[in-house]
Structures are given as C-alpha cells and as structure tokens.
Structure 1
C-alpha cells in the first residue's frame, strides 16, 4: 500500500478567499486595538471614532466586511471586480476612523488580493489591478486636497510603496510558475522523445535481425524446394522457430511497455476500466477518497481504448493525490449512445500546481487521446478545483 503523500504547505491549503477574510479580520482587529491604551502607552494610538460607538459606524463596518468577503469569493472568476470590492471596503471602513489617508491596515486586504491576481492571472490583468489600487490612493489624496481637508501624503506614499511590492511579489510568483510549466513541458517532450527512441531501438533489436534470418531461410527454401525437399523442410522449420521467437519477444516488449512501473509484475498490471474500482479502493486507502460513477450502457471496448481510458483515470487520480491538496475526487465513466466513451475526473482542490517531474502527466494523456482521434481538456474549474475530460470515439464494430 503506498504511503499517503505529505500535506501541502499551509499557504496552499488555505484558499485565496480564506486569506482575504483572515487578513480583513486581522486588520480590523488591529484597528480596534489601536483605539485602546495598550500596555506601555500613555494614550491610544488613535482616538475612538464612529466605528466603535455609533450605529452608523457599525453599519459601515458590517457593509465593508461583506464587500471584502465577496471580493475574496470573486477573486478567481472576476479578479478586477474583486480588487475593486476590496478597495471600496477599505474606503468605507476608513470613513469611520477620522484619519487623513487610507491606512495601511485598511489597504492590506487589497494588497493581498493584488498579490493573488498578479500570481494567478495574466500580466495585463495584474497591471490593471495595480493601476486601480495605486490610482485609488492618488485620487483619495487629491479629493482631500481639493476639499481643503488634511491629507496624510507621507503615510499614503508608504501604502503605495507596499502595494507595488505586493504586486511585484505576485508577479514574481507568476513568472516562476510559468517557468516551471515551460520546464515541465520541455522535460515531458524530452521524455516522450526518449520513450519513442527506446521503443524504436527495442523494435529494431527484436525484429530486424529475426526478419533478416526469416527472409534468408525462406529464400533458401524456395530455391531448393524441388531438388532437395528435405533441405527446404529444414529451412522452413528454421523460419517457423525464428518467427515464434520473434513473436514471443514482441509480446514481452509490449507487456513491458504497458506496465505502469518498470519493475512491476506484468501479470498484476491493470488492463482497463474493469480495474477502476480497484484503483479507487487503493487510493481511498491511501487517504484520498475516489467516488466512481458510471453512466450509460457499458459495452465491450477495444484493448487500446480500454487501456487508454484507464491510464487517463490513473494519471489524473495520481495528480489529485500529489498536487491538488484535497481529500476527495470524482471519476465519471460515460458510455454515450455507444458512439463514444467519455471519462471525467474532477476535484475541489487548489485548481493549479507546478510539477517539474519527468513523467508524461497531462502531455502523455493528451497524446494518448490524440492517437485515438479523441478530444482532451484539462483546466481549473470556475467553481474551484480541477477537471480532466477525455472523449474517445468508439469504432463502428463496437457500436
């Protein structure tokens, strides 16, 4: 039984929406604490304002909290709207504090949202979000100056500087992930090429010499068939023996190529969708529950389609165990009107990850499906998590 994988780091176990809520709660608590005289202080860092003692201040606080939480929920699907909501939440909370600038504590949630946008979305989206965040600070100071109100310019410059740093950190994470993906794609391509070369070498070593001997023996038999039938019979027996040895060698090679691990016993290698339940049981025992659902009327499948469908499920479930950071996934096997076989693997995990191992991964699954003239997709889900789907057309004989 394989050992359960180690849990992902805390940063990856907590979703961006949860981080937004945690940071907002912490910054609000910090703001409230500054209105009290803490140990070692002669007076509070700031005097209590409407936020603590008036119903309108508490209303603004509740409204700003709702905006910040909603911004965290929209961070994945509508990042710019999410950043706008966190900015508005910070402004509403600041309005009850009686200060001359947008404080760092009230803008910290926007900075965290900006980091996640820069890290997980295209650079253009991140730059627009940065312009929104910094532009709001400039506009806030400009309005106060035009109205003749005090403006905390120095403090606001510090907030703007930290905002830019948050974007730089997120952009750096984005570039690191893209580099890892490019490196993984290159390594996968190299692995595919190396595997094809290995298969070509094995085919050459197994077949070329034997076919040459068979051709020579068959030619000799045809030349002496009339004059020396005993010699012709001997040559044909040699052809038969060499053919059997070649066929046995090809079978051993194909069994080895179909094995999941080089050292695995070929007799125990799963061969198709009939072994999905065993795969689910093994994975569940390792700590990740696999729910298997079958739709449509099952029908006998060609070995290549049966094996490819199982390998896609196996690789996807392995990716869930290694990278998704979740404890459950769902596998759907759908026989659609006996015209195609569809498999879908979904999870509610992180929806993204970086893997630089030299295995086939998504590249190998896509290649399997392409060889069978099917359709393959693998992408994060809008509601969170990741989805892998493969549609394999069935031959007319199966229908």
Structure 2
C-alpha cells in the first residue's frame, strides 16, 4: 500500500476531522480573499480594503457549518446559502462568503441523485445570483454577481461528476465480484458433477464384477467336490471378472492422477512399534522429546495401534508449531487394565501457543485426534497444564473396539507386486 493510499485510509477513518480541516482551509481562503480588491489601479490589489466585522462573522459561521457537511448536507447548504444571501444583500458584496455555499452545494451533489442535484443546484444558483443582481449594491452586470453564478454552477457540476464516478467504480466492483462468484459456483458445480460421474463409474464397475465374482464363487464352492471341472471353470470366470474389475478400476482412477503424481504408498500403516522412529524425526527438527513406555509389548488391534500413533504424531506436531523454542515434550504409553493410556505433555509458552489455541476452539488437529479416538470407542482429554504447557491424554481400549475396525489387518511387509496395487 502506497503512502497516498495509507493517508486516504486514515482520513477516511476520521471524516469529521477531515471536514474540520476543510472548513479551516475554506475560512482561510475567504479571509485572505476579502482583503483583495479586483478593481485596483493595476488589476487585483491586496490590502486596499479591509473586511467588515459582520463579513468576518458570516465567513466564520459559514466555514463552521462545513464541518458538519457529511452529517446533514442539505441543512449545511441552507445555512451557508443564507449567510451568503445576507452578505450579498446587506453587507460587502465582494466578501467571498459564497465560497462556503459552493462547497456545501458540491457536497449535496456528490451525495444525492442527479434530479435532486439539478433541483437544488438550480434553486441555489437562482436565489444567490438573483438576490445579488436585484438587491445588491452593485450593478446587476458586476463581476462579483457573475462569479456567484459561475461558482455555484461549478460546485453542482463537480459534485455530480464525483457522484457519477463513484457509482461507476462501485458498479465495476460489484460486477467483478459477481463474475468471481459465478466462476466459483461454476467450478464447484463442475467438480460436483465430475465426482458424481466418477462415483457412478466406480459403482458400476465394482457392483457388476463383484456380483459376478460372488455368483461364480458360490457355484465353485457348491460343485467343488462333485464336479471339479465345473468348479475350475467357475474359478476361471472369477479370475477373469476380478481382472476386468481391476483393469477398469485402474483406468478410472488413472484419470484422476497426473503424470507427476507420486505412486501410491506401499508401506504398512504406522503403529506404536515405530514410536521411537517418530520421536527421532522430531528430535532431528530440534524438539526435545522423551519417550516412556510401560505397555509390556501389548499387541493392539490395527485401528487402535494406528490411532495411538497418529495421536502422538499430531500432538508432537502441535508442540513443534505452537510451544515455542526450547520447549520439551514427554510421551508416555502405559497399559492400564483393558486400556492403553497415551499422554503427551509439553512445557511450551510460545505466543498464541498450544496452551492457548485449544481454548479458542482448536483447529483440525485436535478435531482429528478426537475423531480417531471416538472411532475406536476411546476417550480424549486435552487442555492447558497448570503454569505452562499443554496436555493430551487418550485412553484407548485394547480389546473392545468396533467390529469394522477389528477386521482391519495391517500388512506385515511392503507390498511390492504391481498386481496387488492396481490403482
């Protein structure tokens, strides 16, 4: 942002101060102009005349009214017009009190519509010019009277031009915002349609071929003992259907991948047996991590094992991100009856650190930990520690987990056969 833009922002934040400064500037111009005599021996002469006290008072009142021009533009125009009318009829007709009325007329024109600008501008110009020509001490054709007509017309025209430009810029901005929303909505619609198409294709591929595999497998099981030849034929159909399903799945999912996308992971899902390796990665990043285990080598179901690993990983990541430099973390994994208790403590006090972020609602990390714990029917407690730091405590069941999670078996080794990773 440039210096001019910053100045505009500051002035826009304090409109009354800006109007007060404008009123002071207008008053200074009127006072200085009141000492000038346009009919001097050598043209405009300075100091040949002195403004009357009444003229100075009217100038001051007119300028003071301009400080409220944004709050009540029409009222300010009426006041400044009245001061100008009084000066042109009963005072010094050459005193520039009308300058305050010109600024007020500009404000009205800039803040209202064009028909109102025409009506108000015509009325102001007619009243001030007509009064100066008909009731003023100078001849009707005097330069001062024509100046009133010219300056009021300029004020109304300039205000209307500013209002038109503001409306034009606002219309362009609204049009751009509408076009942006339209593009975003169109992109979301196309993404939704593409997802629906892919889901439909996958459903068709899987449903058809898996149904065929199921039927042929049932036939093979039924005739395995009495008709081995027919069972072999059914198994051949099963193999052919499964191969077709894999080929179609590979083709469908291949449409979603780019040429530079990484290959699908072939390592087994991580578990608590890799806890020391996980702690080592954070130590290499500069975080002091201490690990204590008292789970007696408990064999955990895959879902619980993965959930425990991910909870510790996310908790240590939060410590690394939020606890500040020099923070220490302690990780403990303890077997307590039918449960595994996982605790991650830190002593960080960084600005906006992990000890304060959860109080404001937390982020996706804490939400993800809670969802993982809920999925295996465990409990999770998080919160700031007394003094400083943060505490994450999870209790995970060793045996009592949902059936769908208990049925997941993590592979014991790397999957390296391409036929086993079709997509």
TM-score for the superposition, normalised by structure 1: 0.47
> More relative contact order in 1 or in 2 (CA 8 Å, sep 6+)?
1
User: What TM-score, normalized by structure 2, do the two folds share?
Assistant: 0.45
